[in-house]
Structure 1
Amino acid sequence: MRTVIKNEAKYDEFWVRLRGPREVSDDVDMGAAGPLLKDLRPGDVVTVTLWQDYVVAVARDGRSQETADTPLGEPQLATAVGSALLPAGVFTAYAGGRVFTRARRYGERGLPRLLVVHGKAAFGAMLCAVPATIVGDLTGVPLQMVAWLVLLPAVWWFVRRRELRGRGRHAAPALQDR
């Protein structure tokens, strides 16, 4: 085994060269010097954890260090991307379907205000993925989804409230003209 630790101002390198069965004989990026890599010496016997043909952890004497290939945090990221893209896709399908089926009417009268309101709500739902991802990083994917779903009614309430307030402002001059 060979370890490489380079700590330079703009470039860090933390590698361990593993020798053993074909699945684990490779140079592995450890991501950081600690807690284990800094104490490894050539010839040390280590235990390697594999996940889908990737070395995800190296352990020795009860201490373990994750490698740079550890998929930790990926479920939260995938959930965040999905919860951000889902409202965009649903709104796009909804708006596209409405415009397609009512193209002549919308061409004559313009797009209805309802599409704008739903677009704002979809954008707000996409933004809800950000705080939900923070919750997911702290607690896990199930609570990340709960946080996102709890935020959605708040976004809808906010968008509807702003829309109703905006209508009230624009409706008053129209009543005075009559």
Structure 2
Amino acid sequence: MTGLREVTAFRAGARRVLGLLMIVVSVALAAGCVLAFADWLPGNVARYEEYRAAERCAADSTPDVSWEDCLREVELNIVDTVVDRGGRNSEYRATVDSERFQGELGFGDPGPLLETLQVGDKAVATVWRGDIVALTKDGVRQKTSDEPRDEPQMIAAGGAGFGLLAVLGLIFGTARLVAPRNLGTFTWSRSGKVLFFTNLAATFGVGLPAVWLGIPWQLVTPAIVAVVLGVGIFLLGIQRSAEAGAR
């Protein structure tokens, strides 16, 4: 009997420690959520608006600094290209060289220009604030990965995902601290796993279509919260029904 009590006490202590760790992780996730909405999202929106409003540099001006707020066209040489359609590990980049710019440019896909470039080709780079944002050759233009994009939806989705994980971690962690011997529905197998993967699916399942369809980012967070909250309420209802049936 004494051995059973010691084992029970040990398990309760371990659950309290795990609960404390979950709360600590929740604080970090909450910080990520705040950072996403307070810094990354407004910064992304502002940078895109500034880029869209940027004008071409004066034709007779000579660049004397690396950072310019206007759009400047610079001729450069193609040193190497990589077009690797490797699925998740796909790689699309070009190595360029000029008097002012040397190094690699990343791209999101192989076309319409990158896959046609050859070593030794000359191309025209569009430069903004020290970054090459596009490459053009023979009238064919392709954006680089450094070009500002109007895609705040995924930042909002990520922030919502972090925030909901923080809430889940706080609830599950507090349950382990307060009632380690009676966790009820607050376990990984009963509700944690479903809620975790529901949150993950909602983050990408709402965020990515919102980007593709141009849905305002302000609608992304409420949609994700509604999905996860709906699943949570459904699971709680099932748990209560099971408890009532057991009585």
Class of the TM-score when normalised by the shorter of the 2 chains: 0.5 to 0.7
The TM-score normalised by the length of structure 1 is: 0.60
Q: Percent identity?
A: 17
Change (3 A) 1:96 1:114: same
The total of aligned residue pairs comes to: 162
Give yes or no for the alignment of 1:67 onto 2:138.
no
- Contact 2:94/2:104 (<8 A) preserved: yes
> Which of 208, 212, 220 is equivalent to 1:144?
220
The TM-score normalised by the length of structure 2 is: 0.47
SS at match of 1:111: coil
User: What CA deviation, in whole Å up to 9, does each residue of 1:32-69 have, x standing for no partner?
Assistant: 55323426785745132346x44232235654212245
Structure-2 residue corresponding to 1:56: 133
Root-mean-square deviation (CA), in Å? 4.1
Q: Distance in 2 between matches of 1:156 and 1:9?
A: 39
Q: Distance in 1 between matches of 2:151 and 2:235?
A: 31
Q: Distance in 2 between matches of 1:30 and 1:130?
A: 22
What 5-or-longer segments of structure 2 have no aligned partner? 1-76
- Contact 1:87/1:125 (<8 A) preserved: yes
SS at match of 1:47: strand
SS at match of 1:128: helix
Q: Distance in 2 between matches of 1:91 and 1:13?
A: 38
Structure-1 residue corresponding to 2:241: 165
Q: Which has the higher contact order (CA 8 A, sep 6+)?
A: 2
Change (3 A) 1:165 1:71: farther
Give yes or no for the alignment of 1:89 onto 2:163.
no
Q: Distance in 1 between matches of 2:208 and 2:142?
A: 24
Structure-2 residue corresponding to 1:156: 232
